[in-house]
Structure 1
């Protein structure tokens, strides 16, 4: 009686090569999303020897408690009113040096946009979503004013110009043209958003 042949062997020699090629394929084609952060400059490690003297009226104080309530300039305020209040403070123009400001020129408020500082302080138990929302409203106040001036001077929104300028795919000639325009508008309303030390109670 003839012997039965065993099951044919599967040649697995190339399986490692195939697995390696698949790994390379997925590494090359997979995109990893990066988290967007807040663009903030941290203070230096050592404070300056002669810090500048800042008048209290040039500081717009915003406090967030652990319940998400806003205390703006020592008064309770709804979040929906924060942007307009910050805008009014930034373009108050009390000293008369800002000829493009449309503020009330209240002598008890900020002298001019270059001296105006927004100070934000939050509690350790403040919700992150509340913190981000407040940040967005304050940055939005700067952007609204910058957009207004960019429209007046160049017929375009500042946020659109800045995004195009920062885009690495924008041609160099266009970026060179936008550089001075973006800086000019930024200098008109410099973003001075200071974060005070977080409170623990």
Structure 2
């Protein structure tokens, strides 16, 4: 008998790399990458003319702190639920402590802001605060201002915010300016 050498059947894999490369290019070109959006905030203008520091009445600052257990504290002592925050913010901003705001509906408490244009929300959080909780608190602040601005737009212009002209929208923003102070977080 003769010695027959059998060649094992082989698959030509030379074009496999080309096919894989083409598939990779196809998926890169056809895949959409969702762009994450951040929190829309307008930074204050840089102070160019002194005095750049002003004295603010303590009653015009509402201190909100989120600790490492994700609990919300108001004025360093009262622990509240997230669902309560929006109403507390609205009552603080719309207080009309000076009794000079003709569009405010506040209770005119001596412990809350003088008027909406002077109300400052000071937001501080612990370095170990859950990011989701921090964003939820930011959302509640935005909801409070949106509710106040919507009510103002309906009472003054009889329109929703979407229907306002650019000048009317500026007037609404001037009546209820969004003033948020975020305190720098110290990491140990």
Q: Give the TM-score of the pair, scaled to structure 2.
A: 0.78
Separation (CA, whole Å) in 2 of partners of 1:115 and 1:44: 17
Separation (CA, whole Å) in 2 of partners of 1:57 and 1:31: 49
CA RMSD, 1 decimal: 3.1
Conserved 8 A contact 1:57-1:108? yes
Q: 1:71 deviation in Å?
A: 0.8
Gaps of 5+ in 1: 1-15, 162-176
Conserved 8 A contact 2:93-2:112? no
**Partner residue in 1 for 2:165:** 178
> Please, which moves more after superposition, 132-141 or 148-157?
148-157
1:143 to 125, 143, 146: 146
Q: Give the TM-score of the pair, scaled to structure 1.
A: 0.73
**Partner residue in 2 for 1:195:** 182
**1:80/1:37 CA distance change after superposition, 3 Å:** same
Aligned pairs for 1:1-201 within 5 A: 30-42=31-43, 50-73=52-75, 74-158=77-161, 160-161=162-163, 178-200=165-187
Instruction: Provide the aligned length of Structure 1 versus Structure 2.
Output: 171
Separation (CA, whole Å) in 1 of partners of 2:83 and 2:151: 20
Separation (CA, whole Å) in 2 of partners of 1:127 and 1:72: 18
Q: 1:28 deviation in Å?
A: 6.8
Separation (CA, whole Å) in 1 of partners of 2:44 and 2:105: 31
Gaps of 5+ in 2: 1-17
**1:178/1:29 CA distance change after superposition, 3 Å:** farther
**1:45/1:181 CA distance change after superposition, 3 Å:** closer
- Summarize deviations over 1:124-168 as a string: whole Å, max 9, x none: 00000000000000111000000111122333332x34xxxxxxx
Separation (CA, whole Å) in 2 of partners of 1:191 and 1:46: 18
**1:98/1:134 CA distance change after superposition, 3 Å:** same
Separation (CA, whole Å) in 2 of partners of 1:91 and 1:132: 23
